[in-house]
Amino acid sequence: MRQINVAVIGPGWCGGIRANACAQHALVNELHLAEIRPDRLAEVAAETDPTSTTDNWEEYIADDSIDAVIISTTPENLHYPMTRAALAAGKHVLVEKPIATTMEEADELIAIAEGNNLKFTVGYSQRFKEKFAFVHKAINDGTIGEPVTCLVSRNVTRELGNKITGRTKLSPAAMEATHDLDFLLWCLQPRKPIRVYSQQAGKLFKQKSDTPDHQWIMVTMDDGTTITVGAGWILPLGYKNYSQCWIEVIGTEGALTIDDTHKEVQINRVDNGIQYPMSTMPGEPVDHVFAGPMKVETDRFIEAVALDRPVLVTPGEARLVMDVYVAADLSVERGEPVTLPRNDPTAVAAQ
Ligand SMILES: NC(=O)c1ccc[n+]([C@@H]2O[C@H](COP(=O)([O-])OP(=O)(O)OC[C@H]3O[C@@H](n4cnc5c(N)ncnc54)[C@H](O)[C@@H]3O)[C@@H](O)[C@H]2O)c1
């Protein structure tokens, strides 16, 4: 059995989960951690017993014994230069979403990965949840006939909204709806998105910045199926990083309704009222198990590298998601629908 050596760059909230998954995986020999916050580095090192730690991520890029790199840093504009350096050095990469900040950067990364024959995937963790996999299966095995329309509405707490908007200017489409756009585009393959319309609303965060509170995105696919994805980040605090999501898929022969609002487990305490544990997007460790998708997603990446298996989320798919959320933001700006692909003159002519 071939074991691999993995470096996690940026073991904050998500990177900490990734590092713990690596530390527990039988196919990982050495774990290395690069983090610029000494307190956080010490915390994750205590949990994972890494082979080495550093505050200089470039040391691991230069280290030929490291096979794979997981890039979990914020702010998000670090993803491109770090991914580029790792791929150019011949390392397999899992990068958190977004893959990059521009389409040109994404194209360059995909070309380097292909040229060097490397596994390259993007952290669209929701695909690794049982309920979401069930929707994918039910659409693809014909259970509900031909899909007609799909809706995903997601809202997270204002605490998380503050964290995200504090570090980046990216919109709810780019930072949050991106997961659900990826999910629905994956479910509906090989259909392609051809038109995007989007509207934002903002009353709370607008008091302090130009950040919206919520964004709706409507996408038309090339066979006429419609997608509606909503993403907001101003829910009252209820549980740290709480996320609630509701899915409806209507088909010609049936319908799917998925409640992912995490109300099935409640704790009600005198000191802080009702709380919903295990309700964050990546999930959390619970004693000997992990409740949520991020550990299994990390395991799949390790296995793809060590056992030469395909990755589930391809970088080309992540690029298509970026195309859609960039079009959504353009639609907000223009107040009108945007046709995809945006650089295809025949698509404009056909409108
Ligand atoms: N898949 C999901 O469900 C999901 C959920 C939340 C966030 N995310 C994505 O995951 C990524 C991380 O988000 P987070 O909430 O864990 O962020 P975080 O801020 O908690 O962690 C990021 C870490 O990167 C470290 N860092 C920054 N610059 C560095 C450098 N030069 N070298 C080494 N470390 C450095 C920071 O100190 C921090 O600890 C983001 O891209 C975010 O969009 C994904």
Nearest to 301 by CA among 89, 95, 16, 85: 95
Provide residues with CB under 6 Å of ligand 1: 9-10, 12-15, 34-37, 40, 57, 72-74, 76, 78, 96-97, 123, 125, 281-282
- 127-291+322-334 has the same fold as 4-118: no
Query: What is the sign of the dihedral through the CA atoms of 270, 274, 160 and 242?
Result: positive
Angle in degrees, CA 170, 127, 141, rounded to 5: 135
Ligand 1 centre to CA of 72 (Å) is 4
Ligand 1 centre to CA of 74 (Å) is 4
Residue 236 in contact with residue 157, Cβ under 8 Å?
A: yes
Ligand 1 centre to CA of 10 (Å) is 6
First to last CA, the chain: 55
Q: Is the pTM of this model over 0.75?
A: yes
Query: In this structure, which residue's CA is closest to atom 9 in ligand 1?
Result: 96
Class of the CATH domain delimited by 127-291+322-334:
alpha beta
Nearest to 322 by CA among 102, 122, 76: 102
Ligand 1 centre to CA of 98 (Å) is 11
Most informative mutation of 8, 47, 54, 74 for ligand 1 (most atoms within 8 A of CB):
74
Cα separation, 273 vs 266, whole angstroms = 10
Burial environment of residue 257 by CB neighbours within 10 A (0 to 12, 13 to 18, 19 or more): exposed
Cα separation, 8 vs 70, whole angstroms = 5
What are the residue ranges spanned by the domains of the chain?
4-118, 127-291+322-334
Cα separation, 28 vs 60, whole angstroms = 16
- What does CATH list as the number for 4-118? 3.40.50.720
Cα separation, 130 vs 128, whole angstroms = 6
Cα separation, 247 vs 313, whole angstroms = 21
Cα separation, 120 vs 303, whole angstroms = 13
Per-residue pLDDT of the chain (351 residues; tens, 9 = 90+): 689 999 999 999 999 999 999 999 999 999 999 999 999 999 999 999 999 999 999 999 999 999 999 999 999 999 999 999 999 999 999 999 999 999 999 999 999 999 999 999 999 999 999 999 999 999 999 999 999 999 999 999 999 988 888 777 789 999 999 999 999 999 999 999 999 999 999 999 988 888 899 999 999 999 999 999 999 999 998 788 999 999 999 999 999 999 999 999 999 999 888 899 999 999 999 999 999 999 999 999 999 999 999 999 999 999 999 999 999 999 999 999 999 987 654 444 433
- 86 CB-near residues (< 8 Å, 6+ apart): 61, 69, 71, 93
